[in-house]
Amino acid sequence: MWQFIASLIMAIVILRWPLVGYSLMLFLLPFEEMTAFWPAVTGLKIIGGITFYGWLLNTFLQRRRVQRDQALVFMAAFLAWSLLSLAWSADRGLALARAITLGQLLLLYLLGINLVQSRKELQLLLGTFLLGAIIAAFIGIHRGVETGFAIRSSVSPDQNPNLYARLLAFGLIAAIYLFGDWRRIRLLLPGIFTVGILSWGIFLSGSRTVWISLPGALMGSGFLVANHRAKIALAVAFFLLAVSVTTLAPHLPPVLQHRVTSLTDLDQLANFGGRTGIWQVGWEMVKDHPFLGVGLGNFPRRFNEYVRLIPAMEKRVGFNRDPHSTFLQVQAELGLIGFLLFLALLSSVLKQVVGINRKKDLLFSLALLIFLILTALFSSELFRKFFWIMLAVTGILYQLNFGKSFGAKQPGELKQGYYERKGSRLFH
């Protein structure tokens, strides 16, 4: 009985203050598999639904303007094309289910840029997610210790360790942003502790994609924005980290040792966990359906047809395989038109990011975007909640820097962006 009463009170609070619901969603994001009521229904989805209706109700009653940006326009166009792909999908039921999921994920972006209206609210949002990520890191480390590091770490056996690593990486980038000024002693020790715990959790996950993408995102954003001295310090730090991990590799538990050494073995690196074989099959699919694709969500189903066309590939990669690349997934499932819409979506986000005025916000946004692009190269993120939430954070920072939504004025008419003030032609 008390559980029902507590749930009812929480629902009322979320309906009144939807930002509480959005923050709770981010807190629970690393534990979504543990909140499942039924196979397709989790506590996170229920909270998301209540949050959305709460936002609608408040927007209508208070006659608020719906915030939107250019990226959201391309997202809507991408969703519309995805729905059209039902017409030529082999499995229309699967395509429709995926389109509904994609629509719900785009609502996460819409909610983010509308619910967060100040830096304190953004700090609340990121802080609640970071708290969840730290708890998830402790759980993953504890599971690793319990099993003698015989398994790749995650919060539960049902969670994909690669997804676990991506969520912790999001938390680590957010921690660097939130703790900000490392010269303040009161922030230095908590910051080092938080980054250390999250880094250890990421390492124990054994996710090679994150091992590559996270340093790439931090170094990439740092080299684009930071001063010369900071760039040198960043390069030295990551070089020493790489040398340390490589040196310790022979002494690591077998499950981690194999994944570390595979990054230094050219033959294994070229294969990258069997991905090249999957991509080869996927490319055959692209060549047969270059303009329209095979339909949203239909890559694994059609994969079984094409894998038989390549000798010996069945034994090498198996059946019903995930594309292991968001870009390949979009090209194969939605064709050239869908691929161009997806690139336009990412380009619009990049355009917003590079126009951000505040250097700290720019560094954070660039790190998020670079991380998403790098992970999307080697894994399928199109239907992952964190992918669209991280994009939403860049949209929030864009609006906080300029205080305008799409259709009013262009950023250049409001303020000069960081790169414009520095006279850089990097993105011109």
Percentage of the residues of the chain whose pLDDT score is greater than 90: 67
pLDDT tens-digit readout, 303-316: 988 988 877 777 67
Query: What is the DSSP secondary-structure string of 24-80?
Result: HHHHHGGGGGGGEEETTEEHHHHHHHHHHHHHHHHHHHTTPPPP--HHHHHHHHHHH
The answer to whether the beta carbons of residues 111 and 54 sit under 8 Å apart is no
DSSP 3-state assignment of 189? Answer: helix
Between CA 292 and CA 313 the distance in angstroms is 25
Query: What is the DSSP secondary-structure string of 123-136?
Result: HHHHHHHHHHHHHH
Decide which of 254 and 315 is more confident: 254
The answer to whether the beta carbons of residues 35 and 25 sit under 8 Å apart is no
Q: How far is CA 141 from CA 26, 189, 233, 312, in A?
A: 21, 20, 29, 39
Tokens encoding 189: 């020790």
Predicted pLDDT at 38: 77
Average pLDDT over the chain, rounded to whole? 88
Q: Which amino acid is located at 149 in the chain?
A: F
Between CA 143 and CA 150 the distance in angstroms is 10
pLDDT tens-digit readout, 87-129: 999 999 999 999 999 999 999 999 999 999 999 999 999 999 9
Decide which of 400 and 248 is more confident: 400
- With CA atoms as reference, report the closest residue to 271 among 262, 260, 259: 262
> What is the value of pTM for the model shown?
0.91
Q: How far is CA 334 from CA 91, 155, 188, in A?
A: 14, 34, 47
**Which residue's structure tokens are 């060549």?**
287
